[in-house]
Amino acid sequence: MFDAYLKKIQGNFKRGDATEHTHRPALQELLEKVEPGLSAINEPRRTAVGAPDYIVRRGSVPLGYVEAKDIGESLSKIGRGEQLKRYRKAFPNLILTDYLEFRYYVDGERRETARLGELDADGKLRPDKEGQKEAERLLRAFVNAEAPVVGEPRDLAAR
């Protein structure tokens, strides 16, 4: 599931001019491969709390949101920041990633973390097979989370 994704990430990284946005097509493709029928929309419409990088849907049903940061950025630091605090409060099913590490949040609390591999100083990717198994479980849990039921028009507007 991750071989083509990691090859693209490594290729982008090795060029030396990649940014957070460079890796987005690879992540979109990965998210859509988790299960048939999924679509990952890059740069969805802004919400009241901000603009997460992706919304993942099954048909027209939103499943969750993904916020991506550049490879090597401290996800711990970002996790304590205002943006992620808002997102964790507003989005009950959320992933934060730097394209190699995935942190899964449910109802604002971190539930799982998985790492696909490490990039060394020379830009060589060292895959982690066990981490890839954990990441696959994490992504499947994310797309199979129970979608929130909207009971009131006010709830729908808030989402």
**22 pLDDT higher than 80:** yes
Domains of the chain with CATH codes? 3-143 (3.90.1570)
Region 134-157: mean pLDDT is 75
Q: How many helices (H) and strands (E) does the chain have?
A: 6, 8
Lateral strand order in the sheet of 101-106: 38-42, 54-58, 61-68, 93-97, 101-106, 109-115
- Position 147 scores a pLDDT of 62
Whole-prediction pTM value? Answer: 0.89
Residue type, 145: A
